[in-house]
Amino acid sequence: MSEPCNIAAALPRLAAEAPDRIAMRCPGRGGRYDIALSYGELDRRSDAIAAGLAGRGIARGSRAVVMVRPTPEFFLLMFALFKAGAVPVLVDPGIDKRALKQCLDEARPDAFIGVPLAMFARTLLGWAKAARVRITTGPRARLADATLAQVEREGASAGAQLTDTQPDDVAGILFTSGSTGVPKGVVYRHRHFVAQVDMLGGMLGLSPGGVDLPTFPPFALFDPALGLTSIIPDMDPTRPGKADPRKLHAAIKRFGVTQLFGSPALMRVLAEHGEPLPTVTRVTSAGAPVPAEVVAKMRELLPADAQFWTPYGATECLPVAVIEGRELVTLRERTETGAGTCVGRPVPPNEVRIIRVTDAAIPEWSDALLARPGQVGEITVAGPSTTDTYFNRDAQTRLAKIREACSSAASSPPSALRAPSPAGGFRIVHRMGDLGYFDVEGRLWFCGRKSQRVVTPERTLCTEQVEPVFDTHADVRRTALVGIGERGAQRPLLCVELHPGIAKSEHARIADELRHHGEGFVHTAHVDSFAFHPAFPVDIRHNAKIGREKLAAWAARAQRAGRVFAPAATPD
């Protein structure tokens, strides 16, 4: 009998094969790694929690908000919910509180499971009022119906739990970070999670027995399904850019970490710390483009044969494409002269295509949508991990999804994916909302978010074709292109964040040098206005995506206040 289509289906098998293998280690008080779960314990205890939840009415199809830190309780809960066929709802707790309440209300959850602080906030702020079951991870059932420990005891004698979930059953609702708009609940079906595990495992060459340091908690959920040991880092997962590299290195050394996952912000922390990572043979970084200089520095700290992978994708579809660090570094000069950022080649069996830029909805696919070869357009993807809808967001679904008749779709090559393709004679093509193009060698280049492009009366400017050119200045930490005015009549302006310690008296000199440097490249020749910002706003999930919408509003105020460095002939 075949396994159900469920990311948790591998857990009983792995527990039977190696029950004493450590599935995860977590830091306790004082950062001591005195908390561990074996595969046998993870399987047995998640069975008990699944049965206990079912006894309280949380079973197949029930939606449950999970607001739990990356501790054993988080992983036990998630696998229990998967086994029960229930639907975990994950929302970044660091987003704006009004947006958080809106997300939780939209999800219409049947249950709310959280740490004591989350239970208090739920009561105080009226979160998830529809939740009829409330469970806390705390020692006492304050503001809740029960503790998680009590739920586990209630189901302890029930035995193995694994619902026969089907590929199209909803497996989870994962809210986007909202870094470029209002957070949206991405509906994951079981076939999407299963496909992700297979694609990531194949893409990165992952095999059971490795030791992983996943600094983004949801990514750590893949580790037990792949037979890996997770070492949960001693850090605030919502602030990877503020992680203490000494604590990370201590865990890597102590447990012989062989691979790590982190955002570009965390990679920069490790790169600037400069301590070698002799046991690490594989690094994966995602969430935003990884600057080539960060990749180059990290490669110097890794063993010569180590791999540095930067997958490209989004909450709605991951992975889409991937590039290894060696190739990325060799393309650094092209990035720094306006080509964009290369994100590699599509991950099989994805089909990635470039369509002409439009902000309108596209109900049905047609080959007439395709951009000319080499032309910058919107990136689209169709594949086994491509999600098909947002939860209770029909308007956003229409804007992001295109139906394509399977008869006109290119056939996918054979794969080991256990999850079948969707039925109904069509498939979903996801519009990434990113601009890019394919080069003559079949590599995909990312040019920036479509919503952040700057459209002047004469031309369209893409952030990733402009900013890397200016980022080469020795005094510049990073830059952000924004447009002042209405799209179609915008004036480009470059926001500049400098390295610490540079005096304001240097701003005029730096602006002149940036203007002169930009004149030599096609995409930057007409960017001649600069404003200096103390610290760019970034997304709360990866601390890497620049909040250009906020910067655009700030830049407009700076221009009105006369704080913009522009050519003398151009009035501020």
User: 3-state secondary structure string, 527-562?
Assistant: CCCEEECCCCCECCCCCCCECHHHHHHHHHHHHHCC
Of the candidates 262, 338, 319, the residue with the CA atom closest to the CA atom of residue 294: 262
The one-character DSSP state at 208 is T
Rounded to the nearest 10 degrees, what angle do helices 10-17 and 39-55 cross at?
Answer: 140
**Mean pLDDT to the nearest integer, 102-124:** 93
Q: Which residue has the tokens 């590699």?
A: 344
Which distant-in-sequence residues (6+ apart) come within 8 Å of 116 by Cβ? 136, 137, 138, 142, 143
Model confidence band, residue 410 (pLDDT cutoffs 50, 70, 90): very low
Question: What pLDDT shows up at residue 361?
Answer: 98
Going from the C-alpha of 84 to that of each of 60, 131, 163, 196, 245, the distances in angstroms are 6, 18, 6, 20, 38
- Residue 416: pLDDT above 70? no
Phi, psi of 255 (to 5 degrees): -110, 5
Question: What pLDDT shows up at residue 288?
Answer: 79
Rounded to the nearest 10 degrees, what angle do helices 72-84 and 39-55 cross at?
Answer: 60
- Residue 417: pLDDT above 70? no
Model confidence band, residue 360 (pLDDT cutoffs 50, 70, 90): very high
Question: What pLDDT shows up at residue 181?
Answer: 67
Of the candidates 318, 256, 317, the residue with the CA atom closest to the CA atom of residue 309: 318
Question: What pLDDT shows up at residue 507?
Answer: 97
pLDDT, tens digit (0-9, with 9 covering 90-100), for 303-327: 999 999 999 999 999 999 999 999 9
Q: Residues, the chain, total? A: 572
Output the average pLDDT for the chain.
91
Contact 63, 108 (CB under 8 A): yes
Question: What pLDDT shows up at residue 568?
Answer: 67
Which distant-in-sequence residues (6+ apart) come within 8 Å of 424 by Cβ? none
Model confidence band, residue 357 (pLDDT cutoffs 50, 70, 90): very high
The residue that leads in pLDDT, 242 or 29, is: 242
Flag the least confident range among 55-59, 256-260, 381-385, 537-541: 537-541
Q: What is the domain partition of the chain in residue ranges?
A: 348-414+421-449, 453-560
Model confidence band, residue 423 (pLDDT cutoffs 50, 70, 90): low
Question: What pLDDT shows up at residue 541?
Answer: 67
In angstroms, the CA 292 to CA 296 distance is 6
Model confidence band, residue 415 (pLDDT cutoffs 50, 70, 90): very low
Question: What pLDDT shows up at residue 180?
Answer: 62
- Residue 420: pLDDT above 80? no
Question: What pLDDT shows up at residue 240?
Answer: 87
pLDDT, tens digit (0-9, with 9 covering 90-100), for 54-94: 999 999 999 999 999 888 999 999 999 999 999 999 987 76
Flag the least confident range among 42-46, 133-137, 264-268, 441-445: 264-268
- Residue 175: pLDDT above 60? yes
- Residue 572: pLDDT above 50? no
Flag the least confident range among 36-40, 236-240, 246-250, 370-374: 236-240
- Residue 248: pLDDT above 70? yes
Model confidence band, residue 409 (pLDDT cutoffs 50, 70, 90): very low
Percent of the chain topping pLDDT 70 = 94
- CB count within 10 Å of CB 369 equals 18
The residue that leads in pLDDT, 469 or 177, is: 469
Model confidence band, residue 424 (pLDDT cutoffs 50, 70, 90): low
- Greatest Cα-to-Cα distance within the chain, rounded to the nearest angstrom: 80
pLDDT, tens digit (0-9, with 9 covering 90-100), for 177-189: 776 667 899 999 9
Going from the C-alpha of 363 to that of each of 429, 451, 517, the distances in angstroms are 10, 20, 44
- Residue 413: pLDDT above 60? no
**Mean pLDDT to the nearest integer, 373-387:** 97
The residue that leads in pLDDT, 412 or 467, is: 467
The residue that leads in pLDDT, 424 or 359, is: 359
What is the dotted CATH code of the domain comprising 348-414+421-449? 2.30.38.10
Model confidence band, residue 333 (pLDDT cutoffs 50, 70, 90): very high
Phi, psi of 469 (to 5 degrees): -65, -45
Name the CATH superfamily for 453-560: ANL, C-terminal domain (3.30.300.30)
Of the candidates 282, 286, 295, the residue with the CA atom closest to the CA atom of residue 226: 282
Q: Is 426 helix (H, G, I), strand (E, B) or coil?
A: strand
pLDDT, tens digit (0-9, with 9 covering 90-100), for 211-228: 999 987 777 788 888 889
